[in-house]
Amino acid sequence: MAMRLVIFVIFLSVQAQAQMSKDSAAFFIRDIYRQSYTERQSYEWLRTLTKDIGHRLSGSENSARAIEWAKATMDTFGLDSVWLQPVMVPHWVRGEKEQVLMMTGNGDVRSLKAVALGNSPGTGENGIQAEVVEVMSIDELKEMPDRAIHGKIVFFNRPMDPGQLSTFSAYGGAADQRSTGPVAAAERGAIGVVIRSLSTDQDDSPHTGMTILSDQIRNIPSLALSTNDAVVLSDALKKGKVELYLRTTCEMKEDVLSYNVIGEIKGKDFPDEIILVGGHFDSWDIGEGAHDDGSGCMHSMEVVYRLIKNNYQPRRTLRCVLFINEENGLRGGTEYARVAMENNEYYIAAIESDAGGFTPQSFGCSVGEYASLDTALSHMSGYMELLEPYDIELKRGGGGADISRLRPIVGMMIGMRPDNSRYFDYHHSDRDVFENVHPRELAAGAAALTSLVVLIDQYGIGK
Amino acid sequence: MAMRLVIFVIFLSVQAQAQMSKDSAAFFIRDIYRQSYTERQSYEWLRTLTKDIGHRLSGSENSARAIEWAKATMDTFGLDSVWLQPVMVPHWVRGEKEQVLMMTGNGDVRSLKAVALGNSPGTGENGIQAEVVEVMSIDELKEMPDRAIHGKIVFFNRPMDPGQLSTFSAYGGAADQRSTGPVAAAERGAIGVVIRSLSTDQDDSPHTGMTILSDQIRNIPSLALSTNDAVVLSDALKKGKVELYLRTTCEMKEDVLSYNVIGEIKGKDFPDEIILVGGHFDSWDIGEGAHDDGSGCMHSMEVVYRLIKNNYQPRRTLRCVLFINEENGLRGGTEYARVAMENNEYYIAAIESDAGGFTPQSFGCSVGEYASLDTALSHMSGYMELLEPYDIELKRGGGGADISRLRPIVGMMIGMRPDNSRYFDYHHSDRDVFENVHPRELAAGAAALTSLVVLIDQYGIGK
């Protein structure tokens, strides 16, 4: 009798660890989708995160509340472990509402809608005032004579190219004005910078975002104008000389202790092969960080939640990671990678969702140090047909900022690519709110991510 | 000299008719996309159609104004011909704002948000009042004893299934309550019907849509409640007896002369092979018919506009058709097919855009009388790779209501399939307005349709 019990236990244990047949995986994925659409779990969590907590800039009290909430929520899932990984983060504060006044030759004064760029220094209590010089690029700035720039406020006004197929490409083609424009202008003796907001829409909401500081020269106050007010300023400049008055009390304070939030289910067959799915938990301090990247974090939480709820026993170790400080420092992703390397961890796949809560179209893949892209894509094409009914495919090229530092210990780097039509209408502005996330679109992302994790967990990447 | 000129002219003419290389087609499609995204022509037309004209129910003055505007607009394109095809259409009018009052046992009276179903008869000036009986399906209704239905108002309350992958499938699974529910209830002696709106959202906007009338029995007044008020009514019924008072002065009037709007570019190589692209120009009389189907009509107009603007000389005949009366009669599509058959026309492809102005995902194909689906899909797969960069693929199954009557003289029936996440939030309600159409998503649809038309025009369907 004792012998029969032992055999029975072994049999059960072997069964639990057997690879799923593709037919079973197809049924399982269909149920995952049905549950995600019906229960809308990511959407309900996102409502709590955005409406009860709100935006979550690194180092802010809100970010601490959000971290506490996420840990408490993940504690209820039945994960093998949930922990906070400490990391020091920058603590930039916006201060009082920014003021930008436009003075034209005829004596008119007009207020323009603007927000300080993240990490920018303030103007001091009294603000600054100077003549404006408009340029369309850093190259154009560099070719101008010193006297045209020195003591002036530089206005970078190149729009995102609407003709680009991907709005991320259009963003990439204009973002240097925000990231490196202020230092380039400071190097030429400018005293301040305003940029046209990086946005696909023409409206009154300015879009913030990080500017890169110099440790060589004195950094200058930098703000983004709404796209409508960029047009107003440019039109005024066509008529003659324009001065701007800028006032922002933003400042960088001392670093603050914060955390990455991590939840894990141990793998049964290959516990040392980790599949990471994550997003970044910090957001800018305007709007609610609903698409960027509340959606990606709720997606990632739903992956492990949904699998446990369906009694799924992973073959590999699954880890959900909410990274802190992607927006203005990448300290969370950097520290996570440092600890992972210290622990000699290996990631068969690192997957990031940080392109909004829209309908997923594909997963963009690039290679880590441990895999060949061709071999992996060819192996994965053997099971990605299971996602064809959901209009999801693999594409070349992709990853994510938070997982980028893990590359030396990763097989495949994967970024989820949702429909990008609307992302930059909202991105980093007061329009990035819960109301602009659609429950079915968000659910489709959670289901697609969960399904991909199941497929990689079951069938690997062919390494 | 005269001889050389003749040779030169022949050479030019032969060149114009040569099949495009795939490389050239790829460049051309890239330019089509860039132009569609940048110029947003469909979006600007849609603004005029929805904001200056508005909704366009068959037989209404607005529909006549819209037809006039479309013809005048298409006259400016430089098409070979633009014409109006006469057709008699039903003229149903909504009359005064509908009234639905809910009376519960405790003497409370509450107004519910409702709209009459299209083609429904009115209640008469005094309205009707009766006890309500809730059912979840026509089958449930049929199994109930006569006394439970006779003289009552039947409330069909089965929601669209949120777990369906496609909202069109969910719609298909619930729409019988609206289309045949009223006649089924009338056959059992009910005096009126209210249905839960066919909607993917939970809100205060009721959704109309056609109900099918009987010519055997007396038709009864039928209305749709907003999803929120369907819950209110259902909750009240759980507590006890509920009566409803219904009042609608809607009525069917005499048929009215209306038109399909048609524009054509004659083919250079195969003028007798027609490629049709179209949508339906009528809409319901609430909202603005922005997604349903202003978007599809603007898409179709942009196809021929964009090709002429790029000096494209089609090998086959291209026809843009704005069909009238899809919503409550299909008279436009029926008359178009009758005339086409009388003229012995042949359609290599009939393509309809009637699923909203959202990001296109695929083209759904089904076979007409003249082609084999396998042969055609296999032939087309040889060039559909050109649409891979745009995340567009061919799928099996599709078409459209307006083109359905053409099947006997068509090679391939094709329906554009956009992302369907949001469609039924708006469909047939006061939320189907211009503000809920996104310019990039609409442009992507116009570009995808134009590209497909170019590919079929160049390379055929392998028949």
B3: left (phi over 0), alpha (psi -120 to 50) or beta: alpha
Angle at A364 (CA atoms; ends A362, A365), nearest 5 degrees: 135
Give the C-alpha separation, A44 to A62, whole Å: 19
At A371 the pLDDT is 87
Give the C-alpha separation, A73 to A45, whole Å: 9
Q: Which residues of B touch A167 (CB under 8 A)?
A: 440
At A18 the pLDDT is 79
Give the C-alpha separation, B398 to B395, whole Å: 8
At B7 the pLDDT is 45
**Is A3 a domain residue?**
no
Q: Report residue A400 as tokens.
A: 């994510």
SS3 breakdown of chain B: % helix, strand, coil, rounded to 5?
A: 40, 25, 35
User: Is B293 within 8 Å of B281 (Cβ atoms)?
Assistant: yes
CB contact under 8 A, A167 and B440: yes
CB of A396 within 8 Å of a chain B CB? The answer is no
| Strand partners of residue B87 | B258
Which residue of chain B is at minimal alpha-carbon distance from A360? B419
List, for residues B289-347, the tens digit of each pLDDT value.
999 999 999 999 999 999 999 999 999 999 999 999 999 999 999 999 999 999 999 99
User: Is B129 within 8 Å of B172 (Cβ atoms)?
Assistant: no
Complex-level ipTM: 0.93
- What is the distance in angstroms between the CA of the first residue and the CA of the last residue of chain B? 43
Residues B42 and B151 in one domain: no
CB of A389 within 8 Å of a chain B CB? The answer is yes
Give the C-alpha separation, A178 to A138, whole Å: 10
Q: Report how many Cβ contacts below 8 Å link chain A to chain B.
A: 59
At B157 the pLDDT is 98
Give the C-alpha separation, A160 to A157, whole Å: 10
Give the C-alpha separation, B272 to B343, whole Å: 11
**Is B8 a domain residue?**
no
**Is A384 a domain residue?**
yes
Close Cβ partners of B217 (under 8 Å, ≥ 6 residues apart): B183, B186, B187
Residue reference for tokens 């009864």: B220
Residues A270 and A235 in one domain: no
Residues A306 and A184 in one domain: no
Give the C-alpha separation, A443 to A447, whole Å: 6
What strands lie across the sheet with A81-93, from one edge to the other?
A81-93, A251-265, A316-323, A270-280, A346-352, A410-418, A360-367, A393-396
| Strand partners of residue B256 | B89
Q: At what angle do helices B61-75 and B296-309 cross, to 10 degrees?
A: 10
Local structure of A55: helix, strand or coil: coil
At A17 the pLDDT is 59
Domain of B242 in residue numbering reads as 95-249
Residues B239 and B266 in one domain: no
**Is B1 a domain residue?**
no
Q: Which residues of A touch B38 (CB under 8 A)?
A: 162-163
At B354 the pLDDT is 98
Residue A6 has pLDDT above 60, yes or no: no
Using the 3D structure, point to which of A249, A272, A287 is the last residue of a domain.
Answer: A249
At B17 the pLDDT is 59
CB of B295 within 8 Å of a chain A CB? The answer is no
Q: Which helix (H) or strand (E) holds A338?
A: helix A331-342
SS3 breakdown of chain A: % helix, strand, coil, rounded to 5?
A: 40, 25, 35
* Mean pLDDT, chain B, whole residue set: 95
Q: Which residues of A touch B419 (CB under 8 A)?
A: 359, 419, 441
Say which CATH number the domain at A313 has.
Answer: 3.40.630.10
**Is B16 a domain residue?**
no
Residues B318 and B399 in one domain: yes
Close Cβ partners of A414 (under 8 Å, ≥ 6 residues apart): A349, A350, A351, A352, A363, A364, A365, A398, A399, A452
CB contact under 8 A, A200 and B389: no
Residues B180 and B315 in one domain: no
In single-letter form, the type of residue at position B163 comes to G
Over residues A256-285, mean pLDDT:
98
In single-letter form, the type of residue at position A5 comes to L
CB contact under 8 A, A162 and B37: yes
Residue reference for tokens 């019907």: B193
Using the 3D structure, point to which of B249, B277, B311 is the last residue of a domain.
Answer: B249
CB contact under 8 A, B444 and A422: no
Local structure of A316: helix, strand or coil: strand
Query: How many distinct structural domains can be found in chain B?
Result: 2
At B18 the pLDDT is 79
Local structure of B308: helix, strand or coil: helix
List, for residues B97-149, the tens digit of each pLDDT value.
999 999 998 889 999 999 999 999 999 999 999 999 999 999 999 999 999 99
Local structure of A82: helix, strand or coil: strand
Which residue of chain A is at minimal alpha-carbon distance from B361? A391
In angstroms, the separation between the Cα of residue A440 and the nearest Cα of chain B is 6
CB contact under 8 A, B391 and A38: no
| Strand partners of residue A274 | A317, A347
**Is B10 a domain residue?**
no
Say which CATH number the domain at A208 has.
Answer: 3.50.30.30
Give the C-alpha separation, B291 to B278, whole Å: 14
Residues B190 and B77 in one domain: no
Q: Which helix (H) or strand (E) holds A251?
A: strand A251-265
* Mean pLDDT, chain A, whole residue set: 95
**Is A5 a domain residue?**
no
**Is B15 a domain residue?**
no
Within 13 Å of residue A93, how many CA atoms lie on the same side as its CB?
A: 11
Quote the pTM value.
Answer: 0.94
At B132 the pLDDT is 98
CB contact under 8 A, B389 and A38: no
Residues B286 and B157 in one domain: no
Residue A5 has pLDDT above 60, yes or no: no
In angstroms, the separation between the Cα of residue B137 and the nearest Cα of chain A is 21
Q: Which residues of A touch B441 (CB under 8 A)?
A: 419, 421-422
Using the 3D structure, point to which of B217, B249, B281 is the last residue of a domain.
Answer: B249
Residues A336 and A223 in one domain: no
Residues A264 and A233 in one domain: no
Residue B1 has pLDDT above 50, yes or no: no
Provide the sign of the torsion angle of the four alpha carbons B16, B21, B27, B33, taken in this order.
positive
In angstroms, the separation between the Cα of residue B133 and the nearest Cα of chain A is 27
Q: What is the 3-state secondary structure (H, E, C) of B48-108?
A: HHHHHHCCCCCCCHHHHHHHHHHHHHHHCCCCCEEEEEEEEEEEEECCCCCEEEEEECCCC
Give the C-alpha separation, B407 to B337, whole Å: 9
List, for residues A118-137, the tens digit of each pLDDT value.
999 999 999 999 999 999 99
User: Is A460 within 8 Å of A379 (Cβ atoms)?
Assistant: yes
Residues B130 and B192 in one domain: yes
Residue A3 has pLDDT above 50, yes or no: no
What pLDDT band is residue A7 in, cutting at 50, 70 and 90?
A: very low
Residues B277 and B392 in one domain: yes
Give the C-alpha separation, B161 to B173, whole Å: 8
Q: Which residues of B touch A440 (CB under 8 A)?
A: 162, 167, 200, 421-422
Question: If contacts are CB pairs under 8 Å, which of residues 418-437 in chain B contact chain A?
Answer: 419, 421-422
Give the C-alpha separation, B333 to B321, whole Å: 10
At B229 the pLDDT is 98
Pairing of strands B270-280, B242-247: unpaired
Over residues B364-376, mean pLDDT:
91
At A106 the pLDDT is 86
At A423 the pLDDT is 98
